[in-house]
């Protein structure tokens, strides 16, 4: 009963069943003529029994006087004698990509819940079919990421049929795009084609390949740096500078958050200057205690200190520009579902399947970031109208963060904008 009371707030019922008492619980008197004293509501939230709904399309034929027979055109999506409709296709893709259910279990789950009995071959084919419908949407999402002010990028290893591949991600709070490549380096980033044309601020974990794009402003992830400072403190427990640097770094992050909450354009000087002095003093002490040794190979601690000193503008950009976040957590959150997929369903069997999964995952991630219903968005994509609920162009936080030349168009589907 306690779980029933928590299931949801009372809503407008679809059906009302009245229960009227027959006799008084006190004296047993019949109550048909008694005054009404109130009512207690009890709602049962349930789903109807699901069964497939079969719609038969009859394509009538007519024969002309010339002898030719003409058959009526079939509607979109009705290309065979028996096909599964957009709702079942959307459910299959939802289970495969968003819930990480393996193919065989997806087929079994659909059969158990809906009564339809798709084959595992059909389950696999619907993934690539839907991915093909999202080619233009993926291009649009990448184009909008390139136009954004601040983006997050990251990379992680992946597995395709036992071989090691690299997954690259680029995204914002509202957009996500993935790219799969056999390598981790410059070729993969160039083929992804986000950073080569990007001129805003890119937040990352200091992978050297990102330095090849100086036209962008770079910000290093503070969470990664904090972990390295903690490791340095554990390696050198007799030295105070790692803890001092960590306190200053976290202090600057807190000050940045407080300045945003107060709608300030920058951290006040009386707050930021002492923190910066403490940060620089910690680095100077650390560099003095860990001097360079002959040769190119230096200790991890020395390399960390030199990076913090030489890339000061990138390390502390979050404290100088409040539009820049402290961490690269956004990219790491976007990468996490791909790791979950590997743990639950195992590796993809082919490059084609892996790229199809990632294209759909990028679409789902973008939809989720906007708070829209995933199943509805997948059904819209299947019926040829992806991102059908895209907000007006005046909403700069919406799907279509259009450049000024396109903003006068109002409502636009992603595929239409991508083809312009």
Strand partners, 23: 30
Q: What is the pLDDT of residues 50-90, one digit of tens each?
A: 788 888 899 999 999 999 999 999 887 787 777 888 999 99
Q: State yes or no: pLDDT of 415 exceeds 50.
A: no
The tokens describing 118, both together, are 């798709």
**Euclidean distance between CA atoms 372 and 220, whole angstroms:** 31
pLDDT at 155 over 70: yes
Distance CA 115, CA 11 (A): 29
Binned at pLDDT 50, 70 and 90, residue 46 comes out as confident
**pLDDT, position 388:** 54
Report which DSSP code applies to 348.
B
Percent of the chain exceeding pLDDT 90 equals 71
β-strand 201-204 against 217-220: which pairing, if any? parallel
pLDDT at 395: 38
The CA distance from 322 to 173, in Å, is 16
pLDDT at 52: 81
DSSP 74: P
Mean pLDDT throughout 135-162? 93
Give the position of tokens 């028996």.
82
pLDDT the model gives residue 125 = 93
> How far apart are the C-alpha atoms of 342 and 301, rounded to whole Å?
34
Can you tell me the mean pLDDT for 259-274?
Answer: 96
Give the residues across from 156 on adjacent strands.
Answer: 167
**pLDDT for res 420:** 32
Query: DSSP labels for 20-71?
Result: ---B-TTT--B-TTSPP-----------PPP-PPP------EEE-TTS-EEE
Instruction: Tell me how far apart the alpha carbons of residues 174 and 367 are, in angstroms, rounded to a whole number.
Output: 8
Residue 107 has pLDDT above 80, yes or no: yes
β-sheet bridge partners, residue 218: 202
327 token code pair: 């961490």
pLDDT value at position 128?
93
Backbone angles phi, psi at 203, to 5 degrees: -100, 130
Say how many residues make up the chain: 420
User: Quick one: what percent of the chain has pLDDT higher than 70?
Assistant: 90
DSSP calls for 154-200: EEEEEEETTEEEEEEEEE-SS-EEEEEES-SSHHHHHHHTSGGG--S
Residue with the bigger pLDDT between 57 and 390: it is 57
Span of 178-192, 248-262, 266-280 with lowest mean pLDDT: 178-192
Rounded to whole angstroms, the Cα distance separating 8 from 11 reads: 8
pLDDT tens profile 214-232: 999 999 999 999 999 999 9
Mean predicted confidence (pLDDT) in 234-259: 97
Q: Taking residues 20-29, report their average pLDDT.
A: 91
Which tens digits make up the pLDDT trace of 353-367? 999 999 999 999 999
Rounded mean pLDDT, 361-386: 92
Q: Do residues 166 and 158 make contact, with C-beta atoms less than 8 angstroms apart?
A: yes
Would you say residue 139 has pLDDT above 90? yes
């Amino acid at each position: 009963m306690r779980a029933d009371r928590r299931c949801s707030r009372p809503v407008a019922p679809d059906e009302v069943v009245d229960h009227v008492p027959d006799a008084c619980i006190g004296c047993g008197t019949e109550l048909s003529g008694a005054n009404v004293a109130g009512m207690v509501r009890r709602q049962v939230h349930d789903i109807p029994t699901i069964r497939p709904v079969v719609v038969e399309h009859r394509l009538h034929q007519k024969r002309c006087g010339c002898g030719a027979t003409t058959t009526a055109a079939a509607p979109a999506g009705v290309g065979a004698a028996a096909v599964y409709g957009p709702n079942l296709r959307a459910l299959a893709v939802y289970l495969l990509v968003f819930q990480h259910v393996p193919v065989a279990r997806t087929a079994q789950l659909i059969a158990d819940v809906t009564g339809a009995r798709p084959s595992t071959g059909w389950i696999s084919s619907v993934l690539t079919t839907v991915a093909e419908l999202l080619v233009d949407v993926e291009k649009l999402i990448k184009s909008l990421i390139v136009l954004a002010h601040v983006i997050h990028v990251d990379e992680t290893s992946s597995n395709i049929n036992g071989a090691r591949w690299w997954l690259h991600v680029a995204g914002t709070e509202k957009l996500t795009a993935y790219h799969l490549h056999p390598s981790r380096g410059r070729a993969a980033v160039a083929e992804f084609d986000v950073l080569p044309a990007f001129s805003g601020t890119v937040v990352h974990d200091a992978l050297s390949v990102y330095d090849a794009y100086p036209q962008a402003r770079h910000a290093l992830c503070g969470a990664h740096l904090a972990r390295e400072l903690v490791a340095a403190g554990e390696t050198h427990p007799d030295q105070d500078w790692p803890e001092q640097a960590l306190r200053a770094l976290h202090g600057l992050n807190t000050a940045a958050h407080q300045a945003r909450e107060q709608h300030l354009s920058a951290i006040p000087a009386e707050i930021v200057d002492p923190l910066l002095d403490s940060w620089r003093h910690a680095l100077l002490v650390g560099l003095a205690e860990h001097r360079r040794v002959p040769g190119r190979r230096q200790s991890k601690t020395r390399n960390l200190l030199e990076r913090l000193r030489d890339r000061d503008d990138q390390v502390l950009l979050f404290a100088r520009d409040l539009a820049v976040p402290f961490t690269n957590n956004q990219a790491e959150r976007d990468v996490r579902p791909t790791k979950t997929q590997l743990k639950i369903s195992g590796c993809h069997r082919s490059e084609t399947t892996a790229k199809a999964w990632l294209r759909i995952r990028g679409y789902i991630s973008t939809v989720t970031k906007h708070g829209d219903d995933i199943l509805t968005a997948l059904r819209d994509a299947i019926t040829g109208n992806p991102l059908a609920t895209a907000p007006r162009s005046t909403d700069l936080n919406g799907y279509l963060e259009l450049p000024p030349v396109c903003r006068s168009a109002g409502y636009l589907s992603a595929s239409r904008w991508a083809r312009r």
